[in-house]
Amino acid sequence: MANHDRVTKAVIPAAGLGTRFLPATKAMPKEMLPVVDKPAIQYVVEEAVDAGLHDVLMITGRNKNALENHFDRNAELEETLVKKGDTDRLEKVNYSTALADMHYVRQGDPKGLGHAVLRAKMHVGREPFAVLLGDDIIDARDDLLKRMLQVQAERHATVVALLEVDPDSIHLYGAAAVEETDEDDVVRITGLVEKPDKEHAPSNYAIIGRYVLRPEVFDVLERTEPGRGGEIQLTDALQSMAEAPDWTGGVYGVVFRGRRYDTGDRLDYIKAIIRLAIDREDLGPELRPWLREFASELEDEPVEFVEEMPADPTGPIQTLSARDN
């Protein structure tokens, strides 16, 4: 394997506004929302590091200081924990500081995922690199990124993670047209569409937020016109790369069959917390029996739902856009 083909860098776009989680994300980035007791973003950085990618570039935006602070030292907190002799918590605090070699660049205008990735060009240079989206958490017990890096090294191509989803959900994702290869979990991608209607989707293979991209993606992104939602879409750039395998190496998909948690949606976020907490040795033994009892109580209880927000005393509020990036 040529040296320039070894992936060492991970790029994590984290400039979204998190509108789906307002008001929680009014003054705090959505990536800092806790999943059990760690911010969602820490799972993603841990996954990159676990796959051998210690150089992490985060693409941030306004309001994202908490992200930088989380991966930096907090001398006052450390001192307090040392004084208390609380070594357990001190270890947790120091762990996120030492986790990776963190770098930050701001996106400026939020012009879409493709635009965010293009901001990584200077830092990445002419090497293949990984992109991890913070809304998807991949269970640390199931390898995905490592497998993608392996496929990238073997095929010298761009590799995306695919998940078979219910056709009713394909409109939430980039969808891929695929051809089989000689490997059971690898497909060749012949076309990609960003968030198609169910009727126009080429398949129910959805791109989940993991990519290993060849540096040619920067050249393509520079020429990619705004697409769906008026944004520069990474999916559109990948479509151009799939169409020009001669100079881009083509695009392959690794079909993921493991556990993935979507923390970008409120309901899925709640499910993710429960699913992850239940397997934790410090919480699972008490949570499991409680959850069973709670579920059985639910069956006979009459339901009385609570309003999402108390009535606004000052009149109607402005509707927010459904777009959450």
Q: Does 29 bind ligand G1P (CB under 6 A)?
A: no
Instruction: Enumerate residues 6+ apart whose C-beta is below 8 A from 210.
Output: 130, 131, 132, 133, 136, 138, 144, 145, 148, 160, 161
Q: Does 158 bind ligand G1P (CB under 6 A)?
A: no
DSSP for 146-176 reads HHHHHHHHHH-SEEEEEEE--GGGGGGSEEE
- Closest-approach residue to ligand G1P (CB): 174
Q: Which of 31, 47, 55, 194 binds ligand G1P (CB under 6 A)?
A: 194
Q: Measured from the CB atom, is 16 or 249 closer to ligand G1P?
A: 16
Length of the chain equals 325
Q: Please give the distance of CA 124 from its chain centroid, rounded to a whole number.
A: 19
Q: Does 174 bind ligand G1P (CB under 6 A)?
A: yes
Q: Does 113 bind ligand G1P (CB under 6 A)?
A: yes
From the list 25-33, 57-65, 205-213, 282-290, the region that binds ligand G1P by CB under 6 A is 205-213
Closest contact distance (angstroms) between CB of 248 and ligand G1P is 18
Contact present, 203 and 255 (Cβ < 8 Å): no
3-state secondary structure 188-250: EEEEEEECCCHHHCCCCEEEEEEEEECCHHHHHHHHCCCCHHHCCCHHHHHHHHHHCHHHHCC
From the list 129-137, 215-223, 249-257, 304-312, the region that binds ligand G1P by CB under 6 A is 129-137
Closest contact distance (angstroms) between CB of 84 and ligand G1P is 41
Neighbours of 155 (CB within 10 A): 17
Residue 244 sits at φ, ψ, to 5 deg, of -125, 60
Q: Measured from the CB atom, is 96 or 252 closer to ligand G1P?
A: 252
Closest contact distance (angstroms) between CB of 258 and ligand G1P is 16
**Region 212-241 residues binding ligand G1P, contact defined as CB under 6 A:** 233-235
What does DSSP assign to residue 128?
-
R_g over Cα of the chain: 21
Q: Measured from the CB atom, is 96 or 227 closer to ligand G1P?
A: 227
55-60/9-14 β-pairing:
parallel
Q: Which of 18, 61, 209, 249 binds ligand G1P (CB under 6 A)?
A: 209
Closest contact distance (angstroms) between CB of 4 and ligand G1P is 27
DSSP H or E run through 284: helix 284-300
Q: Which of 81, 133, 159, 187 binds ligand G1P (CB under 6 A)?
A: 133
Interacting residues toward ligand G1P by CB under 6 A: 113, 133, 135-136, 173-174, 194, 206-209, 233-235, 325
